[in-house]
Structures are given as C-alpha cells and as structure tokens.
Amino acid sequence: MILEERPDGAGAGEESPRLQGCDSLTQIQCGQLQSRRAQIHQQIDKELQMRTGAENLYRATSNNRVRETVALELSYVNSNLQLLKEELEELSGGVDRGRHGSEAVTVPMIPLGLKETKELDWSTPLKELISVHFGEDGASYEAEIRELEALRQAMRTPSRNESGLELLTAYYNQLCFLDARFLTPARSLGLFFHWYDSLTGVPAQQRALAFEKGSVLFNIGALHTQIGARQDRSCAEGARRAMEAFQRAAGAFSLLRENFSHAPSPDMSAASLCALEQLMMAQAQECVFEGLSPPASMAPQDCLAQLCLAQEAAQVAAEYRLVHRTMAQPPVHDYVPVSWTALVHVKAEYFRSLAHYHVAMALCNGSPTEGELPTHEQVFLQPPTSSKPRGPVLPQELEERRQLGKAHLKRAILGQEEALRLHALCRVLREVDLLRAVISQTLQRSLAKYAELDREDDFCEAAEAPDIQPKTHQKPEARMPRLSQGKGPDIFHRLGPLSVFSAKNRWRLVGPVHLTRGEGGFGLTLRGDSPVLIAAVIPGSQAAAAGLKEGDYIVSVNGQPCRWWRHAEVVTELKAAGEAGASLQVVSLLPSSRLPSLGDRRPVLLGPRGLLRSQREHGCKTPASTGASPRPLLNWSRKAQQGKTGGCPQPCAPVKPAPPSSSKHPGWP
C-alpha cells in the first residue's frame, strides 16, 4: 500500500482517503467482472444444453424439413457460443471493447470462430494397438496416453494469442506422429472424431484421423484471424501484425484446401475455404492501406501521397468486390453468415468512395508539377460509357481540376451514403456502432469539402469522374502457418524410431541371445543410428551361431533398451562386454502383408498422408445435409484429381513458401 504524508505531518502511516476510494472502486470493478463472468458461464452452459438437444434431434429425425429447422437453430446456437466465448476471453484478458487508447477509429474486421469438438478416449485403441502390434504392455504407456489426452483437452479452448497457436500446432504435430506410427492401409484407430461446423454449427463425425488433423489446421487458421482482428491497426506496427496474421490464416486455409477433399462439414469444403482465403487476403490488403494512412500526419496538399492512397483504396475495394461475388454464390451463400456478406459489401462501397475522396483531395488541394502529370494520369480509368480512345484525363487548368475534384467528391459522397444504407439493412451490422461511426465520419468530411467547393455562381457543366485504377505497392501473399513452432518430441517415442517401429512394418522379436567374442571378434558389422542395423554377419562366426542375420536391428544390449542409441554407443557397450560376452535382443523385419484386394471391405487409407477413400469403408456416420453428395467425404492430397475439379472461382493468392529453416512435418506431401 502506498502511504501519503499529510501536510501537517500528523498522518504518517495512514492511508489517503483518495487511495481508499481507488481501492473501493477497484473492488467494485473486480466484483462486476466476476459477476459478468459467472453470467457468461451460465449462458454458455445453457447454449451447450440447447445444442445437445438439437444435435440429438438432428441425428434422430429423417424429415428433411425438421432437419433444416434444427440446422438453422444449431447455426444460431453456434453464433451465440462464439460471441460469448469471445466476450469471456476479453474479460479474462482484461481487454475491453475500447482497448486501444488511440483516437483513430478503424473499420472492424471479420474473425472466424473456432471449430468445437467433444472429448475423446484414446486409451482403449492405443493400448490395444501397442499390445497387439508392438508386442509391449499397453498399460505401461498410460502416462503417454494421459499426456496426449491432456494436450487435446487443452487445445479445445486455446487462448487468443501466440500461446494458443503453439498449443494447437503442438497437438497437430502429435497427430502427424500418430498418423505415421499407428495407421496402416488396413487399420484405423477405430475412433470417431466429433467436430462442430464453424459456420453452421452442424455436428459431423468421422473415423479418419485426417478429419481430426484437418479440423485442428482449420482452427489454426481461425485463431490467426482472431489475433489479426484484435490488433490495434491505428498504428503502423499494429497494421503490420494484423496483416501477417491474416496472411497466415489464408495460408492455413490454402493448405487445407489443397490437401483435403470431400470434407464432411461445410466450413472445410473447397468452396468455403476458397472464400475464406479471399476474405483473409482482402483484410490483409486493407491492413496495407491502413499502414499507409496515418490520419494525423497526412498533408492534404501532397498530391502524390493522396493519389497513392486513392489507388490503394481502390485495390482494397476490388478485393472486397471479389469476396462479395464469391460469398453471394451457392454453395458458399448457404453457409456464410449473412452479416459477413453484408459487411464485405459495405466495405467494397466504402473503400471505393474513399478512393474518390483521396483523388478529390489531390485535385483540389494539390498543384502537380509538369513532371508529375504522367504519373497522375495513370491513376484514372476512362469512364465505362466513353467510346473515345484512352488519353490524358488530368486537367491542366486549376479550375478544371477543381471541377473534376468536385465530381470525385460527389461520387465519394454517393458511395458513402450507399455504404450507410447497406449497413442499415443488416440487423447484425446495425449493432456495430463502430462501423457506422467510421463511415459517418468520412461522409461528414466529404460533405464539408464539397460545401467548400460548391459556389453559387458555378454554372459549369458537371464533369464525369472516371474510375480509379487499383494499384498497390505491396500485394500480400498467403503465408504458411508456423507449424514447426509447436513441434516437440513424439509422445510415444519410447516405442522406437518411426522408420522401423510403426504399424506399417511387421517384425519378429528375437532374443535375448548371448553373443561371445571369438578370435575375430563378434563376427558382425554394424551400421547406422537409432536403431543400429546389423549390416553384415560373417558365416561361421559367433554372431551367425547365435542366429543373428543381416538386416536385423539391435533393440537391447545387456538388458538396456537401445532403440535410440547411436552407432558409437552400441559399439562401446559391446567392447565393454569383454570375454563374458553380451546379451542382445534384435528385431527382424518381415515381408509386408498383402494389400487389401478389391473385395476387401477393410478401411483403406492413402498411406501416411492420409486418408479416407470412401465413406462406406470407414463407417462414416456423418449426418448428411439436405443436398449431401454420395461421394467420398475426406481425402488427403488431391494431386490425382487436379484438372478434374475447379478450385476457386477466382485464382487464390499463392502460398508463400516456408523459410529454409522450417523442418518438414510427418504426414505432409
């Protein structure tokens, strides 16, 4: 407690009444926060109960009309849950709606909600597989299984920051290890993975581990969108961080779209993922614009700067128009929230009007030099109704520039009024006061400038304002998420190196055998590390007499497990054995079992990368939507299908390759 001395010196050691008041206010605020948290938890529990009842009805009924009604209810519940969890996260992190102390007002972004999942019991299938295939006591791996379950439980509710991303990527990398170690073309884990659609809230389930991996990768991208939306974009550094987050999100969705097909939930379909990619790249482009336009330091007389901002704003408007066209078409139109489509449409109109406003500022306030005129003329496009050949459109005279600037201001005002009208049509957007404040502030600024230019004796014919040429100095590209940042050791590393000890290989355990030293040594040649391989056995030697063969792997020396030992460590241990010899245990790889024939109905996978060949083969029980397709639900790697199916309606941004330092992850092409 900070003590304050009274002026008369008689109050030393006593608390100031002002500080006591501060403490009381702090206690009241803390009490209000706790009360609000308790209310949110109660509302979340209520929504979860409603979702459980709706889900049971969705699975039980076969009436299409009832299913559509329940699906709509699930969508509402899903939206409410995401809003409640977002508010709870803000309260827990001490973040309020007006968390940024800047006076600048920024346009709100669209974050994506995380997919939710149910609890999963890994214990039974993993213990059985370890006992049957690896020949070890499954109960001895109880600690590893508990660690995996704890990691999955934690990643269900990640924090909205870098720590949450590390948690999701850590679990994702463990899924890659599980895929490489425990899955074979003839065996699955036998678990049903339950996930809720992020856009519609409809439940889906599959036995394929690829569905679990894809859902986690989707959440990595969704969490990047939430991190980007929470940045303070009123400063250049905040705009840069937000842009990078949206680029990472686009990269995650691109990676998911390229490697998964026929997903069981709409949010992971190719069309939805393409729309999300385009949305994230548009928001990244908006961050580029915001990083260039600090409102306080912008000089209206700077022609080049104003025209640069005009083209940047036109570029953002073009990106959002592309996103709006994609969202307005089926099937994306059926999945994406109506408020998203409305907000994208509002932003397209707003940034197009903003481009005309900056051009008007350049024409009315600036005085371009003769050398700058060709640069200025490249900003404009000929009016769509003009049949004349393209030529210089920037007026030379000051009065003509004023008239053209006035025409651009008129288009800016009309666009801003249209944006406000579209904003008012959507009930959800009407509740976003911040967006209306941004547009209204820009409209008032445009009206004030127009009133300044409007003269009573102005009888000149109104000029026609041409469109603005979109152009940007920085075109954002989709960037791969940092999947290596959460990469840790394989939880089940005690089973041995994946190159040998996986469910894809079959082996026979030999020994322990006692190996003594002869006149020429042990009579074998060792090679490699982790595990050490018997590269050659001399005929008639002690090793040959003990039954060791070329190609065997040493897994134990004198009772010590050595699956992860290096070559030098095994050699040192054997040399230390002396005349008494050493006890070895080895494994001999067996020929691969036959591949399933066409008549087999066992689950067939596509190798370590993934996954479903057919819904029937994996016993998928995903509730089919109204327009469900009988095609396979989920495949990993669609290289064979390239050229047969069209991807995005428009080409999506290319994925920027990962830096050279990134390590390759198991389970990826």
* pLDDT tens-digit readout, 25-38: 555 555 665 666 66
Q: Could you tell me the sign of the dihedral formed by the alpha carbons of 367, 371, 375, 381, in that order?
A: positive
The alpha carbon torsion through 11, 17, 22, 23 (nearest 10 deg) reads 70
Residue 486: pLDDT band by 50, 70, 90 thresholds? low
Distance CA 229, CA 243 (A): 10
Burial of 510 (0-12, 13-18, 19+ CB in 10 A): middle
Q: Are 366 and 325 in contact (CB under 8 A)?
A: no
Pairing of strands 655-656, 478-479: parallel
Query: What would the two tokens of residue 295 be?
Result: 């409102």
Residues contacting 400, CB < 8 A, separation 6+: 463
C-alpha–C-alpha distance, residues 357 and 365, integer Å: 12
pLDDT-derived band of residue 529, with 50, 70 and 90 as boundaries?
confident
Whole-number pLDDT of residue 641: 44
> Does the pLDDT value for residue 614 go beyond 50?
no
The pLDDT, as a whole number, for residue 562 is 84
pLDDT of the residue at 467: 87
262 — alpha (psi -120 to 50), left (phi > 0) or beta? Answer: left
Among 24-38, 145-159, 482-496, the range with the most confident prediction by mean pLDDT is 145-159
Ramachandran region, residue 197 (left: φ > 0; alpha: ψ -120 to 50; beta: rest): beta
The mean pLDDT value for 542-558 works out to 84
Query: Which residue type occupies 406?
Result: K
Is residue 215 classed as helix, strand or coil in its secondary structure? helix
DSSP type of residue 657: P
Buried b (16+ CB within 10 A) or exposed e, 311-324: bbbbbbbbbbbbbb
Q: How far apart are CA 535 and CA 357, in angstroms?
A: 76
Average pLDDT of the residues in 347-376: 77
Greatest mean pLDDT among 203-207, 411-415, 628-632: 411-415
DSSP string, 13-48: TSPPHHHHHHHHHHHHHHHHHHHHHHHHHHHHHHHH
Give the model's confidence band at 657: pLDDT under 50 very low, under 70 low, under 90 confident, else very high. Answer: very low
Crossing angle of the two packed helices 303-327 and 338-365, in degrees rounded to 10: 160
**Each residue's pLDDT tens digit, 366-380:** 665 554 554 555 666
DSSP 3-state of 217: helix
> What secondary structure letter does DSSP report for 662?
P
Rounded CA-CA distance 320/81 in Å is 27
Sequence letter at residue 569 = E
Percent of the chain exceeding pLDDT 70 equals 67
Amino acid (1-letter code) at residue 563? R
Task: Mean pLDDT check: name the lowest of 92-101, 252-261, 337-346, 509-518.
Answer: 92-101
Residue 639 confidence class, pLDDT cut points 50, 70, 90: very low
Q: How far apart are CA 436 and CA 5, in angstroms?
A: 50
Confidence of residue 150 (pLDDT cuts 50, 70, 90): very high
State the pLDDT at residue 289: 92
**Per mean pLDDT, which range of 511-520, 580-589, 607-616 is the poorest?**
607-616
Q: How confident is the model at residue 294 (pLDDT cuts 50, 70, 90)?
A: low
Mean pLDDT throughout 307-311?
A: 89
Provide the pLDDT confidence category of residue 348 given band limits of 50, 70 and 90: very high
Q: Are 87 and 99 in contact (CB under 8 A)?
A: no
**Residue 207: strand, helix, or coil:** coil
What is the C-alpha to C-alpha distance for residues 184 and 162, in angstroms, rounded to an integer?
34
Asked if residue 171 lies in contact with residue 152, where contact means CB atoms within 8 angstroms, the answer is: yes
8 A C-beta contact, residue 322 and residue 279: no
Distance CA 246, CA 112 (A): 11
Burial environment of residue 614 by CB neighbours within 10 A (0 to 12, 13 to 18, 19 or more): middle
Q: What percent of the chain has pLDDT over 90?
A: 23
Contact in structure between 171 and 151 (CB atoms under 8 Å): yes
What average pLDDT score do residues 272-301 get?
Answer: 81
Task: State mean pLDDT over 404-413.
Answer: 89
Please give the pLDDT value at position 275: 95
Greater confidence (416 vs 510) lies with 416
Q: What stretches of 260-397 show up as alpha helix (H) in DSSP?
A: 270-292, 303-327, 332-335, 338-365, 373-377
What are the tens digits of pLDDT across the range 427-482? 777 766 688 888 888 899 988 888 887 765 455 666 678 888 898 988 999 999 98
Measured CA to CA, the distance from residue 322 to residue 336 in angstroms comes to 15
Pick 337 or 171 by higher pLDDT.
171
Q: What is the pTM of this model?
A: 0.74
Question: Among 235-249, 409-423, 433-447, 612-626, whose mean pLDDT is lowest?
Answer: 612-626
Angstrom CA distances, 487 to 464, 490, 666, 669, stand at 59, 9, 11, 17
Say if residue 210's pLDDT is above 70: yes
Taking CA atoms, 146 is separated from 70, 119, 120, 136, 189, in Å, by: 36, 13, 11, 18, 17
| Band of pLDDT at residue 94, cut at 50, 70 and 90 | very low
Q: Which residues contact 420 (CB under 8 A, 6 or more apart)?
A: 436, 439, 440, 443
For the packed helices 209-229 and 162-182, what is the interaxial angle rounded to 10 degrees? 170
Contact between 319 and 344 under an 8 Å Cβ cutoff? The reply is no
What is the rounded CA–CA span in Å between residue 326 and residue 335? Answer: 12
In angstroms, rounded to a whole number, what is the distance separating the alpha carbons of residues 656 and 480? 7
Q: Residue 241: its pLDDT value, please?
A: 94
The least confident of 107-116, 343-352, 502-511, 584-593 is: 584-593
Separation in Å, CA 9 to CA 5, 6, 12, 16, 325: 6, 5, 6, 13, 74
Sign of the alpha-carbon torsion through 238, 239, 240, 243:
positive
The angle formed by the CA atoms of residues 491, 496 and 498, to the nearest 5 degrees, is 85
